[in-house]
Chains A and B, each alone.
Chain A
């Protein structure tokens, strides 16, 4: 294992050395004369009138979370779908279907809850 790793290590080491070298060189050789105008955010355009950290409306987070929740749950459908054929072959189709039915039912309850609680309305 170690013999194969040597070239990789050499590449990594060289890259690190080189980048440090250039950074150091530019800092050493380059002139550094700051003034207030140079320190502004932009050297052209209109000055920023408010804080640059934009406050998103909290609804965006809510929607994002709900999307993630319901979207991720569908991932569980895939392994089930793949296994379903073999389960049918074993004669346990009803069980497999029932399992997924229960799973989806829980999701539906959650969906209905969110809906009725107004989680899907914008205002």
Chain B
């Protein structure tokens, strides 16, 4: 360690404010819940939204560090990168809260523990994106995961929800163990836990050692688990399927985004070793894309289909990570390599946001059309004739499906374009070819949903729930998806700039 650093909490308080607001807000929501027994709980959702808004406002008001700074003696980064992910996380959590509340209202049964748990999960995600120390990385992963375990299993009385929670817990514990082992090995090599020291130690380490590649591999396994990389994806379909739709949306977007944020910092931290893993990582990326898409082809449930498709999308994002890693390997100049790396990093951030928008939109439609928590709008056949019953909701889902498939003029196309562009720039043309073949595969199962909604008459059981909040939210998201599909320029510039300013 760097010795006892005098902690000047007062100076750092404004920058820490978003995290503190969420932590204190979560506790406050718990207390309010504890003291309001028996009554309706819609004030909890209002309070939760206020806390999240407060966190966003605190993030907005936090003094902008032009080149970033670390907090709490190197534990957390206060840079544009963490600001970007904090705002993204807060947005995701707010949408999740809206969906969940609309479901609870339809049921007339509130699930009060959802609200503080969502706040704590969001806190964990934010910390994960900001972590610049091995310890804070681990604590953030655990904060996030513990909250999400309970959220997944929280549908009491539902066997599938319990099973999903149990599976996620057991496998998540495995991943945590891997992570802890990797971090311990890194600490053993570096003699310190902050990223800067680890980076220096890694650079100074002699070649040929086994410990550092092993440590790096273990950390990659753990983060690969969180982002559902093949072969650490086994939990994904069951958990996404078994968890309530609103939680699945949070997991597919928030957890994934935070894990990728951590991954981006870590691969930046460990370049020489990460490169040693490059061939294996490339193979796993290809497998991730292909497996997700192939299995998604034959799904009959929308949630399960989206689960497999989220594995495939993790593959596209890993393509971006490969592009980050591959820069500087060939004879390109340092300036060019940095440009490509920034392009790839920006592409990943852009894609994460776009993915969050379209996926939350799709899960929002599920939440909107579910009759109750027991009867979620899951079966794809139940969407038959939706374009006649609910033309607006059907149109938004169609937009999300086209976007997920990457058809212009939607944001999904632009996101893929940036990723593939970066991959080609990094000299990985075969991987780009494989990527587009995969997006071709994926078009088939996304189209199927549209076929059912628009081209099949309604028969048998159909989904006919209704929630104007969820429908309105989906409308806004669809509009954003189209807007980012037509004029993505400035937002992409922001993402690339954000990545460029990332510190560790």
Q: Is A117 an interface residue (CB 8 A)?
A: yes
A115 to B7, alpha carbons, bound, how many Å? 35
Q: Is the CB of A109 within 8 A of B31?
A: yes
A residues less than 8 Å from B447 (CB atoms): none
Find residues 413-462 in chain B having any chain A CB closer than 8 Å to their own CB. Answer: none
A residues less than 8 Å from B31 (CB atoms): 109, 112-113
Q: Is A103 an interface residue (CB 8 A)?
A: no
Q: Is the CB of B35 within 8 A of A116?
A: yes
Q: Is the CB of A95 within 8 A of B7?
A: yes
Neighbour of A109 across the interface among B7, B9, B30, B37, CB < 8 A: B30
B residues less than 8 Å from A117 (CB atoms): 34
A residues less than 8 Å from B33 (CB atoms): 113
Closest A residue to B30 by beta carbon equals: A113
Q: Is the CB of A116 within 8 A of B27?
A: no
Q: Is A106 an interface residue (CB 8 A)?
A: yes
A39 to B9, alpha carbons, bound, how many Å? 70
A60 to B9, alpha carbons, bound, how many Å? 42
B residues less than 8 Å from A113 (CB atoms): 30-31, 33-34
A106 to B30, alpha carbons, bound, how many Å? 11
A residues less than 8 Å from B34 (CB atoms): 112-113, 115-117
Residues 34-72 of B, flagged 1 when their CB comes within 8 A of A and 0 if not, give 110100000000000000000000000000000000000
8 A-B pairs within 8 Å (CB atoms) are namely: A95-B7, A95-B9, A109-B30, A109-B31, A113-B30, A113-B31, A113-B34, A117-B34
The 10 A-B pairs with the shortest beta carbon distances in the complex, nearest first, are A116-B34, A109-B27, A113-B34, A113-B30, A112-B34, A109-B31, A117-B34, A109-B30, A116-B35, A112-B31
CB of B159 to closest CB in A, whole Å: 17
A residues less than 8 Å from B35 (CB atoms): 116
A95 to B27, alpha carbons, bound, how many Å? 22
CB of B130 to closest CB in A, whole Å: 20
CB of B54 to closest CB in A, whole Å: 18
A64 to B37, alpha carbons, bound, how many Å? 25
Residues 8-28 of B, flagged 1 when their CB comes within 8 A of A and 0 if not, give 010000000000000000010
CB of A46 to closest CB in B, whole Å: 38
Interface residues on B, range: under 10
Closest B residue to A118 by beta carbon equals: B37
A116 to B37, alpha carbons, bound, how many Å? 8
Find residues 35-92 in chain A having any chain B CB closer than 8 Å to their own CB. Answer: none
Interface residues on A, range: under 10
Find residues 94-109 in chain A having any chain B CB closer than 8 Å to their own CB. Answer: 95, 106, 109
B residues less than 8 Å from A109 (CB atoms): 27, 30-31
**Given A109-B30, A112-B31, A113-B31, 13 extra CB contacts under 8 A:** A95-B7, A106-B27, A109-B27, A109-B31, A110-B30, A112-B34, A113-B30, A113-B33, A113-B34, A115-B34, A116-B34, A116-B37, A117-B34
B residues less than 8 Å from A110 (CB atoms): 30
A8 to B27, alpha carbons, bound, how many Å? 55
A95 to B9, alpha carbons, bound, how many Å? 9
CB of B134 to closest CB in A, whole Å: 20
CB of A78 to closest CB in B, whole Å: 19
A110 to B27, alpha carbons, bound, how many Å? 8
A117 to B33, alpha carbons, bound, how many Å? 9
Closest A residue to B33 by beta carbon equals: A113
CB of A89 to closest CB in B, whole Å: 12
Closest A residue to B116 by beta carbon equals: A113
A98 to B486, alpha carbons, bound, how many Å? 52
CB of B19 to closest CB in A, whole Å: 13
Closest B residue to A110 by beta carbon equals: B30
B residues less than 8 Å from A95 (CB atoms): 7, 9
A116 to B31, alpha carbons, bound, how many Å? 9
Closest A residue to B6 by beta carbon equals: A92
A115 to B27, alpha carbons, bound, how many Å? 15
A117 to B37, alpha carbons, bound, how many Å? 8
A residues less than 8 Å from B30 (CB atoms): 109-110, 113
B residues less than 8 Å from A106 (CB atoms): 27
B residues less than 8 Å from A115 (CB atoms): 34
A112 to B31, alpha carbons, bound, how many Å? 8
A75 to B30, alpha carbons, bound, how many Å? 25
B residues less than 8 Å from A112 (CB atoms): 31, 34
CB of B20 to closest CB in A, whole Å: 10
Closest B residue to A98 by beta carbon equals: B9
A112 to B33, alpha carbons, bound, how many Å? 11
A113 to B31, alpha carbons, bound, how many Å? 6
A113 to B36, alpha carbons, bound, how many Å? 11
CB of A63 to closest CB in B, whole Å: 19
A75 to B177, alpha carbons, bound, how many Å? 23
A21 to B37, alpha carbons, bound, how many Å? 67
CB of B14 to closest CB in A, whole Å: 18
A residues less than 8 Å from B9 (CB atoms): 95
Closest B residue to A115 by beta carbon equals: B34
A110 to B30, alpha carbons, bound, how many Å? 8
CB of A13 to closest CB in B, whole Å: 31
Closest B residue to A83 by beta carbon equals: B4
A117 to B35, alpha carbons, bound, how many Å? 9
A52 to B33, alpha carbons, bound, how many Å? 41
CB of A108 to closest CB in B, whole Å: 10
Closest B residue to A90 by beta carbon equals: B4
A109 to B35, alpha carbons, bound, how many Å? 12
A23 to B35, alpha carbons, bound, how many Å? 64
A95 to B7, alpha carbons, bound, how many Å? 9
